[in-house]
Every structure is written in C-alpha cells, then in structure tokens.
Amino acid sequence: MVKLKIDNHEVEVPAGTSVLDAARSVQIEIPTLCNHPDVDPSAGCGMCIVRINGRIIRSCCTPVSEGMEVITTDAELFETRRMVLKLILSNHPSSCLSCARSGACELQEMANTFNITDAPLPNLTKRYDIDDSTKAVVLDNSKCILCGRCVEVCQNQQNIWALSYLHRGLATRITPANGINLADSPCIKCGQCSAHCPTGAIVEYDDTAKVWEMLRNPDLYTIVQIAPAVRVAIGEEFGFEFGANLTGKTYAALRRMGFDKVFDTNFGADLTIIEEATEFVRRFTKEPESLPMFTSCCPAWVDMLEKFNSDMIPNFSTCKSPHEMVGAMAKTYFADKAGIDPAKIRVVSVMPCTAKKWEISRSEDMKSSGYQDVDVSITTRELAKMIKQAGIDFRNIKEEQADSPLGEYSGAATIFGTTGGVMTAALRTAYFYITGKELAQPEFKDIEGLEGVKETKVTINGAEVRIAVAHGVGNVEKILNRIREAKANGEELPYHFVEVMACRGGCVAGGGQPRVIGGEYAKPYGITDHIRQLRANGLFTEDEKATNRVSHHNKSIQSLYDEYIGKPGGEKAHHLLHTHYTPRNMYK
C-alpha cells in the first residue's frame, strides 16, 4: 500500500494504482477523454493533468508513490485544460446538431463543463470519406479525437486488429491498415469500437428511417422482436436504474409505434436450445469425433470463425441465432396460421448488437422462408431514438404482454443475453434429453461472472462433460489453442462444449447497447464491469423468478414442433433453423 495526499486528503491505495484512480477512490473526478477502465491508459487527450510536487503531469499513466502530494485543480490547471479542449475542438467539426452522438457525447459534455461556447481558434478539421462499408458500424475520421480507445479495444481486448493508427502528426488518423475499408479488413462488426468511442467518430449504421418507412406502408405487415439483453438496458436511455428489466414497457412502446405483432427473441432462444441441445447430445453420445461443439448465437464470433478459424467449422453448432429463427418462423409458421402472405411480412429485430446487421444477410440460409427472414436489425440505441421520435412517455407507459404464438419463453431463454447464459440453458435441456430428468440445481455458478475464460464440469449419466465459456473474442484464442494442441498430440479433449460471446460480459454489453456517460457507476467513461454485472443480474433475476426455467417445457415451442416442424434436428428443422459456414480465410 502507498500513502499520499490528493487535494490535502490522506489517501492509501495499492502500489501501481494510477493517480487518476487514486483520486477517484476519494470521490475526486479528474477530467479525461481517453481513459477507460477496459483499456490501458494512452495519455492521449491531455485532459487529466494534475500538479505533483509542483510539476504538471498526466494522471492516467502516472503511478502513485509514497509521500506524493497531488493537486487536481487550480487556476492554471483549469485554464490549461480549457486550452487543450479548444485545441481538440479546433480539429473537430461543429456539426453537433446532425451528429448521432449529440446529447451523449463525452467531448460535447466536456466542452459544456468547461464553458466553451465559441470557436476561439481557427478550425483545422480535415474532411474524410465516411466508411459505412460494413453496413454495421460507421467510421467518420472527421470526428475522431485520437483518444485511441477503439484501437486499444480492437487490438488488445478483442485481438482483431482491424483498427490502427495511420500516418503521423496532424495527418494521423485511425483506420484499418493502409486505409482500406472496414469491410475489407479483419473487422468482425462487434461494435466494441463504437461502444468505447467518446464522440461520433464510430457509430452504428442507422436503419431507423428504413423501419419508419415500413411502419408507414399500409400494405406491409410489420413484426418486431426484442433480444434478451435489450430489456435490461433500454431503460438507461430514459433515466431508469442500471439493469432494470423493462420487458413489458418495451412491448407497449413497440405497439404504440405501430407494429402489427410484438414477438420476443426469447422464444427463438428457447427454440435454439431445443435444436442446439439435440445437436450436442447427438455429438456427445454418437459422434465424439465431432467434439467439442461451439455455440453459434453470436454473429461476430461466426465472422471471426470464418475469417480466422475455419479449421474449427466442423465443431461449430449449425444452429442459427435466436432472432433468425424467429424471423424464419414469422414468415412460415405464423404466416400460415394467420393467413398472411409472407411476401407482405416485414420482420424487425431489436438487438444489443451491431454485428446482427451483417448477420441478417450473411448467407442464403438467412432466406429459409423463401424471403429474407429478418428484414432489418436495429440496436437498442436506435430503438430508444425511435421511441423518443414517436413522443412516447416510456417512463409512465403501462406494461403489456407479447403476442402469440412467438412470444412465450422460459427463464432459460432470458439468460441468453449474458456470458454463461447460453451454456446454462443448453445444459438444462441436454441433461433432460440424456437422463429424462430435470437438473436438481439449474445454475452453474462457475460459468457466471466476468472472468474472461470460465470452466466447469457436469456429470450426466456417469459421463463427465467438460465446459468452457469465453467472452471478449480475445479470450477465445486460449481455448482454441488448448483444443488444437490436444488434437495434435492425440490427447483427451480439454472441453466438450464451448460458449463464445464476442463482447465482454456477453450481449448485455454489446456494441449496440446504450452508451452511458453519467450516473453513479458510469461517469465519466460509459460502461463499466459494474454496469455489465447489473444488466446481467436483471436477466438472472427474471430466470430465478420464472415459473418455467427450461426451454423444453415451453408450450408454444412444443406446439410449434407438433404442428409444423416435426422432430428436433429433423429435415424441416434443418432447412428452417440451421445454417452452414464458409471459410473466408484472412490472417491478422
């Protein structure tokens, strides 16, 4: 432990703590635009300067030392920070009114805090072509402040290396190597660059106008579904506490917006579990050479598989993701029951994810209904924008229920939105399929939480099933390397079943979730592990309170198989609910 003084407060913190974090430990917020708890400090913005023993130093990258005396603010520091901000703003467009981040921009908030209301310096903003090539995330270098968060997240947390610095000095910009488009880069569209960007330099590809156009067309029948993670994050856009589960209010708002049917992706999660558990049981009991099996719900992970790990394609579950299954069922099963021409049906998915925008057209398998199964995928942020555009009082709207037949779901489906949740749900049903009995203890605490790689073992009919869960795709390399090494050496497989989610914490912290720049756990840098855990808790709580906690007891799912699909894993199920993968080898 190290003792020091910060603004005459006696502080004691562990050795190695930065001055910035030491100040936060005594409720002193030093301004910063580049620091974020998910990434290593870059000291790029220069806003976090403090006076240490008389010298002005950047606090984010300076470790504490014994007897250090820190002054976090005085007249000179204040004016220096204002000048730093003015310099940043002189190289930034003043187009706040037309920027997607207006009102939720850290630079804008900082300028307001320091009362910078004019443009005192000549504007040197460079105009760059906007890169919207992925149709998932949009890169606008004109709005970049070179804080480096996106680079740190992409390279060091995700290990994708789609983004890096190009050129030097005033010509520096952040882009894929050699200035190529994101679509031609290693980018997997996870959107974590967007989630960590403090400005509007990286945002989601906006599809809200397309959705409004569908809703205004009287000849179309519009269907909407919401993902598990959306319900515990949407409220943050309207002042609710972190992790508040607002499923009923979200249904009600969507009906007010004009959707003809409000379904739930959780139904698709239960359907996914029926197919995925069936597939795992077949592999585990009859085809051990096809193990381990990887989950396939995360499109960014699918993209990464096809680009970098195509040797693992035989081990990938062929199940589509839940929202794609709902889309296929909406334009086949539901269309038949309701007597609606599927050519007139439009399906909108509300997802916590930017990669879902890519997934809806990733292959011909996404047209298993004869049409594109999901027409548009919007993020939680886009839905919040649309609710506000519609003038809906979200805080006071009364809760409503989802529509049948694609609205019923189990507690197992709800936890799909957090790391460990898909695995837990699948094991509950796989155990039942093998033994004919329900798991006495339906939770697996060893695979909950935010450790990057989590492992556990489950005994089913005397056989040991070895489990691994990874979140943040940078962590999956550890698992893949262990599997490859075991296979190469003819050793026993370290795992039989592996869950992967591309984003840290899982879908609750997806690239399309609300960016929070205020509040008890968020200020000043947006999402933290504490917020990730609060959102996850909102899902786990719903599961714990659910009357039905297993997918195979969902009566609407049972009716779907009895009336339309036939047996799980059968021919019709494979046509509508499964996919295949294509190697697109790209080396980092």
Q: Show which residues are catalytic.
A: 276, 279, 297, 317, 356, 359, 364, 507
* Torsion sign (Cα): 478, 227, 413, 553: negative
Q: With beta carbons less than 8 A apart as the criterion, state whether 383 and 238 touch.
A: no
- Determine how β-strand 49-52 pairs with β-strand 69-71: antiparallel
Residue 538 near residue 244 (C-beta atoms within 8 A):
yes
Q: What is the DSSP string of 273-289?
A: HHHHHHHHHHHHHH-GG
Q: How far apart are CA 505 and CA 451, in angstroms?
A: 9
Which of helix, strand or coil describes residue 412? helix
* 576 close to 369: Cβ distance less than 8 angstroms: yes
Q: Which helix (H) or strand (E) holds 10?
A: strand 9-13
Centre a 10 Å sphere on the Cβ of residue 432 and count the other Cβ atoms it contains.
19
Contact 211, 178 (CB under 8 A): no
Report H helices in 345-420: 356-359, 380-389, 411-414
Report in angstroms the alpha-carbon separations of 416 from 406, 463, 487, 519: 17, 26, 30, 26
Of 333, 336, 379, give the one whose Cα is nearest residue 354.
379
Residue 35 CA to residue 49 CA, distance in Å, equals 12
CA distances from 160 to 64, 192, 453, 476, 502 (A): 33, 11, 18, 12, 11
Can you say whether residue 188 is alpha, beta or left, with left for phi > 0 and alpha for psi between -120 and 50 degrees? alpha
Please choose, from the candidates 258, 143, 141, 138, the residue with its C-alpha nearest in 3D space to the C-alpha of residue 206.
138
With b for 16 or more beta-carbon neighbours within 10 A and e for fewer, the 165-201 pattern comes to eeeeeeeebbbbeeeeebeebbbbbbbbbbbbbbbbb
Q: Can you tell me whether residue 87 is helix, strand or coil?
A: helix
User: Cβ(243)–Cβ(516) under 8 Å?
Assistant: no
